[in-house]
A and B are shown apart, each in its own frame.
Chain A
C-alpha cells in the first residue's frame, strides 16, 4: 500500500544574471512512492536538488508543478489542508542546534505540536503525552528531560528531541534531511537505529535524505539516486549500492570510502566537465560521463535493469528486452 505518492514534482528557480534571466530546474520531474513501515533513501551530492525536494514535500516551498498524494488523494493548498497535511507528514532537519529554539524547554518544544494537532488536552494529559514521546525516542528519565533547554543537551540528544517533536502530531510520513550529518560520529548510528525502530514499531514511512551511501544501504529498503534534479537510478538498496548501473551511481560508489572493502585508493576517471547549455533537454550527467553518446542529447527514460531496479541511462536501452 502506498501511503504517499510524489508525481512529476518540479521546482524552477528564476535567476537574475548578467545578460538576462535564466531558469534553474532544481527538481526536474521527480516521482516516487513511500509506503508504511519502509524507508526510502534519497542519495545525492550537494546541489542535486535533494533538499529542495524535501522542502517541497514538507510544504516549506511551493512546487512549480507536479503533485503529492496522501492515501490516493491530492492535498489542497489552503491553510486547513496544509495543517491536515502536516499532521500526516513531518520533517526532521539537519541541524538540531538550529532547529530547536534555545529559549524553550524540551517540554515546550513537544507540547506545542501536541496542542496544535491533538485537539483539547488537559494539562495532565498533555504532560503524559510529552513523557510518552520522550520514552519513544529513548530520552530518559522523561521527568528530568522536560525541563531542559537545548544547550543542556548533546547533539544526539537534541536530535532525539527533534524526532520526538516530529512524532508529536502522529504523522505517518517522516522526512529526514541529513538527520545525522551534523552529529558526532559516535551517536550517528544510534539516531539511525532509532529511526529504524520507529519505522518498524509505528509503521512510519520514512524518506532518509543523505549523501552517505553506506548508511543509505543499511538503513533503507529502497534507494533513489538524484543528479541535477533528476532521479537517475532507483531500486532495492543492495541492488543500487552494490550493483550500481548508472555511470553516476558508479562514480559515487567508487569514490565512497570503504575501509572493509578491497579497493585501493583510486580516483574514478572523470573527463573534464563541459558546460551544459541552459534549458538542455538531454541526460544531465552526459558532460561528465565516460560513456556519453550522441543519443544522450535526448533525455533518457527509465530502463529496467533488474527486479524493480530502474536507471535513466541510454546504455540500458537494449536491456529492456533482455532483462524483462
Chain B
C-alpha cells in the first residue's frame, strides 16, 4: 500500500510533455512514441509502465534530448517548469545551454546501470568528472568532499570512493549510479529499469533508498519498468503505455482498484499477488501491433476481450471519464467507457475487473 503523501493539494508541474512523437527512420518509419501528453508534478514519483517496445525508454530518451539517429522527434514539445515559475522549452535548447540544463535539471539512471560505470576508473574519478564538467570552478578539496557526501547520501561507505566498479556488488554499483545522477541535485530523475538486474532483497533496498532520497531532496522521479508490482508500491501516479501511446494514467491506488483500460487490467492480472487467491491468472495472448503502421484504431483491439466495431474504426482519445468508477482521477483511452461511441454502458465484467483472454492458443498469422 502507498504510504507516501498525496500531492493533489499542492501539485504543481515540473515537466510537461505535449503531443510528443518520436520516429525511428527506416524504409517504413517506426512510430515508437505517438502524441504523448504527460505531466510530472514537483516531487512526484510517476511510474511509466509497459512491455518491451511500447516506447517507454524512447520517451525518456527524447525528453532528456538523448535520442540518436535513426531516432528523432517528429512533433510535440517538452516544457520544464522552474521553481520560480519560469519555463524552459527543452527542445529549443542547444549547445552550451543544453549542456548546462541536462544533468542539472534532468538526470537519468540508465537501464543496465550496473554495467554503465567505466570499469577502468575509480568511483571517485567518475563522480569528480561530473562536477569538473558542470562546475569547473570547484576546487579539488571541495570536489572530494562532495563525492564523499554523495556516497554517504546513497548509503555507500565513502571509503569506497577509491574502489573500481568490479570491486563493488551490484547493489552498490546501482547506488553509485544514483549518486552520479544526483551530483548536481536535479529536479527530475529518470530511472530506466533501475532494479531489473538486481536480486529481490537488493531491489527492495534500492527502492527504499529512492523514496527516502526523494523525501529528503524533493526531486521528482519518472520510474520506468515493466514490473507493475514494483510500480504499485513506489509510485504516486502511474502511466501505462501501449504501442507508443499512453493508454491510461492516474493515481496509483485508483489504478490498482479500478483500472479503466482493459490493457491496464490485463497487465495488473499478469502479476499474481504473493499472498492472494491464485484463481483466474491469465496473460494477454497475442502480440503488439506493427509500429510502422499508422493505427487509426485502438492499438489494443486485437488482444482485447471487450472489443467492438468502433474499436477497429477509431482511435480512442486519452480523456477523463468522470462517470466511470475512476471519477475525476486520471484519463484512459478506451471506447468502452464512452457509451456514445461504444453503444452501451461499459460491460459489468470490465468494471468488475475481469480479464478473460479471447484466445487460449497462440495463433500464428
Where the two chains meet, the residues of A that have a C-beta atom closer than 8 Å to any C-beta of B are: 45-46, 138-141, 144-145, 148, 153-154, 156-157, 160, 184-193, 211, 213-215, 217-218, 241-242, 251-268, 270
Contact = CB atoms under 8 A, between A and B. Distances in A.
B305 to A, nearest CB: 13
B191 to A, nearest CB: 15
Contacts of B159: none
Interface string B199-219: 111011101100100000000
Contact of A261 (B200, B234, B275, B357): B275
A268 B360 CA distance: 40
Contacts of A253: 274
Given A190-B285, A255-B201, A257-B229, A214 B234 contact: no
B273 A261 contact: yes
Interface in B334-365: 357, 360-365
Interface string B247-290: 00000000010000000001101111111101001111101000
Nearest to B169: A273
Contacts of A185: 51, 226-228, 267, 270-271
Interface residues of B, number: 46
Contacts of A187: 283-285
Contact of B364 (A157, A215, A259, A263): A157
Interface string B297-339: 0000000000000000000000000000000000000000000
Nearest to A197: B360
A258 B281 contact: no
A214 B203 contact: no
B343 to A, nearest CB: 27
B88 interface: no
Contacts of B211: 265
5 contacts: A160-B362, A184-B52, A190-B357, A211-B200, A267-B208
B267 A186 contact: yes
Contacts of A268: 201, 204
B1 interface: yes
B39 interface: no
B3 A188 contact: no
Contact of B270 (A138, A188, A251, A266): A188
B233 interface: yes
B230 interface: yes
B109 interface: no
A77 B364 CA distance: 41
Contacts of A189: 269-270, 272, 281-283
Contacts of B276: 260-261
Given A188-B283, A191-B283, A265-B234, 9 more contacts: A157-B364, A188-B270, A189-B283, A214-B271, A218-B281, A252-B201, A255-B204, A262-B1, A266-B208
B322 to A, nearest CB: 26
Contacts of A148: 364
A46 B228 CA distance: 22
B232 interface: yes
B233 A259 contact: yes
B52 to A, nearest CB: 6
A46, A215, A267: most-surrounded residue (chain B CB, <10 A): A267
B282 to A, nearest CB: 6
B228 A259 contact: yes
A256 B283 contact: no
A214 B285 contact: no
B273 A145 contact: no
Given A187-B284, A262-B1, A265-B207, A138 B200 contact: no
A267 B204 contact: yes
A-B interface, 6 closest residue pairs, ranked by CB to CB distance from nearest:
A260-B273, A190-B283, A259-B232, A138-B361, A186-B284, A257-B229
Contacts of A270: 201
Contacts of A139: 361-362, 364
A215 B200 CA distance: 14
A193 B362 contact: no
Nearest to B361: A138
Contact of B1 (A153, A188, A254, A264): A264
A266 B211 CA distance: 10
Which of B200, B205, B266: most chain A Cβ within 10 A?
Answer: B200
A184 B269 CA distance: 14
A156 B357 CA distance: 15
